[in-house]
Amino acid sequence: MPEPAATLTIGDLARRTGLSVSAIRFYEEKGLVEPHRTRGNQRRYLRADIRRLSFALIAQRLGFPLDHIAREMAKLPHGRAPTQEDWRRISGGFRQVLDARIATLERMRDRLDGCIGCGCLSLEKCQLANPEDRLGREGPGPRFVLD
Ligand code: FES
């Protein structure tokens, strides 16, 4: 168990992260931080939890769902501060997802160039409406109903 001097109260953590106490409790429920309890049943957080919460906030800003963030962060060590190598491993997973998203967006942007001013959304020729004629490979006839 960490030394009391090396831990933070929930108020300390709120001040250091800019989060509200209720937001910290929410992240705790999601498993992003795991405080220990004092004999008086008060929460105490590691200083490393400042970085855990900051990382989660940045990942959310990058568009990652909280469940994904929680799943990845569960791979960090419990009860001690993660090392640089721990963080590098976690960041690598997020980077792969971001790289794939960026590649998809770049492809869509390039396809959009041909569609600006067109607006046909033709299933036969439009690369935005039907990329690489995916629907054509599923056979003839209607595949879905547009709302
Ligand atoms: S909108 Fe016409 S080709 Fe894409």
Question: pLDDT digits over 62-95, tens only?
Answer: 999 999 999 999 999 988 889 999 999 999 999 9
- How far, in Å, is the centroid of ligand 1 from the Cα of 99? 26
pLDDT exceeds cutoff 70 at 5: no
Of the pLDDT bands very low, low, confident and very high (cuts 50, 70, 90), residue 6 is confident
For residues 46 and 2, give the distance between their C-alpha atoms in angstroms, rounded to a whole number.
Answer: 8
CATH of 1-74, one of 1.10.3720.10, 3.40.640.10, 1.10.1660.10, 1.10.260.40: 1.10.1660.10
Phi-psi region of 36 (alpha: psi -120 to 50; beta: other; left: phi over 0): beta
Answer with the residue of higher pLDDT: 123 or 55.
55
- Which protein residue has the closest C-alpha to ligand 1 atom 2? 120
Of the pLDDT bands very low, low, confident and very high (cuts 50, 70, 90), residue 146 is low
Q: Are 47 and 9 in contact (CB under 8 A)?
A: no
Of the pLDDT bands very low, low, confident and very high (cuts 50, 70, 90), residue 147 is very low
Domain boundaries, the chain: 1-74, 83-139
The DSSP code for 77 is P
Of the pLDDT bands very low, low, confident and very high (cuts 50, 70, 90), residue 125 is confident
Pocket test for ligand 1, best of 123, 126, 133, 146 (most atoms within 8 A of CB): 126
| Apex 93 CA angle, 90 and 98, nearest 5 | 125
